Amino acid sequence: MLRPSLRKPTQMRPVSMETMVNKWAEGSCLIKIGGTTVLCTASVEFAQPIWKRLQHKTGGWVTAEYSMLPRANEQRKSRDALANDKRSAEISRMIGRALRSVVDLEALGHNTITIDCDVIQGDGGTRCASITGGFVAMVLAVRKLIETERITENPVREHIAAISAGLWNNELILDLDYEEDSTAEIDANFIVTESGRFVEIQATGEQHPFEKSQLAIMMDMATDGAHKLIDLQKQVLS
């Protein structure tokens, strides 16, 4: 059965990434996946977070903040409501975990990289787009640290990307847009490294429990999709 966007089950939405879109940030990437658009910027602070200093920890840190513009979705949401949005806080932590998983924090030195992911327009998969675009912004910031001799080696061990999969109309599909996501029977997000390992899987049976076999199929679909996103990351970073 064709999806609302007329895509095949494993067909992803059109994806584009544009780098250096913010002249102040050490790294930036504007990522578009279908109707979802996220601006990712990476800012460098030449110091450890306060908590690391107080605990006499070594190495640097990577963290993230995620937010949506008031009219990123069909209905406007006030800035006050967005500022107190627990969903945004949870996604921020998820992005930070994902990016730290592929970074050697010792090699990062006493530096902190903050990835800001601002959703300009949401149409499903905003957290996945934030991780995928945030990685590109982070790599560009790391290059600045190397160029300015703040660090001597590349702390980024491998690429990482994220993509959604789910069960919609009794069919397993990849890269859900909002129309599919809002009515999906299974909604899942996968964070996958270049080596094919999983950093995090968020999977929910929205209407009923699901089988291990369904999860296994979605993992395979997500791995293929993530590798396509990683290929695009490499193109824009080359």
pLDDT, position 1: 67
Q: How far apart are CA 20 and CA 133, in angstroms?
A: 12
130 burial level (CB within 10 Å; 0-12, 13-18, 19+): buried
CB atoms within 10 A of CB 176: 28
Number of Cβ within 10 Å of residue 139's Cβ equals: 22
CA end-to-end span of the chain, whole Å? 38
In a domain, 10, yes or no: no
Tell which wins on pLDDT, 83 or 23: 23
3-state SS, 96-124, equals: HHHHHCCECCCCCCCCEEEEEEEEEECCC
Range of the domain at 183: 15-237
Rg (alpha carbons) of the chain, rounded to whole number? 18
Number of domains making up the chain? 1
pLDDT in tens, 154-184: 999 999 999 999 999 999 999 999 999 999 9
Residue 84 burial (C-beta neighbours within 10 Å; 0-12, 13-18, 19+):
exposed
Task: Please count the other Cβ atoms lying within 10 Å of the Cβ belonging to residue 37.
Answer: 21
Classify residue 24 as exposed, middle or buried by CB count within 10 Å of its CB (0-12, 13-18, 19+).
exposed
The residue assigned the tokens 């993992």 is 219
pLDDT tens sequence across 97-128: 999 999 999 999 999 999 999 999 999 999 99
Q: Is residue 28 part of a domain?
A: yes
Per-residue confidence (pLDDT) for residue 78, from 0 to 100: 85
3-state DSSP assignment of residue 52:
helix
Tell whether 6 is covered by a domain: no
| Domain-located, residue 165 | yes
The structure tokens listed for 47 are 């110091």
Is 2 inside any structural domain? no
Which two tokens mark 221?
């679909």
* Cα 31 from Cα 17, distance rounded (Å): 4
Domain with residue 213: its CATH number is 3.30.230.70
Share of the chain above pLDDT 70, in %: 100
**How far is residue 143's CA from residue 218's CA, in Å, rounded to a whole number?**
34
User: Does residue 109 belong to any structural domain of this protein?
Assistant: yes
Pick the closest to residue 38 from 22, 55, 23 (CA basis): 22
Residue 206 falls inside a structural domain = yes
| Cβ–Cβ under 8 Å, residues 225 and 163 | yes
pLDDT at position 206 is 84
135 and 17 in contact (C-beta within 8 Å)?
no
* Residue that is written with structure tokens 């979802």 in the block: 36
Inside any domain, residue 99? yes
Looking at residue 77, what is its pLDDT?
85
pLDDT tens for 42-66 read 999 999 999 999 999 999 999 999 9
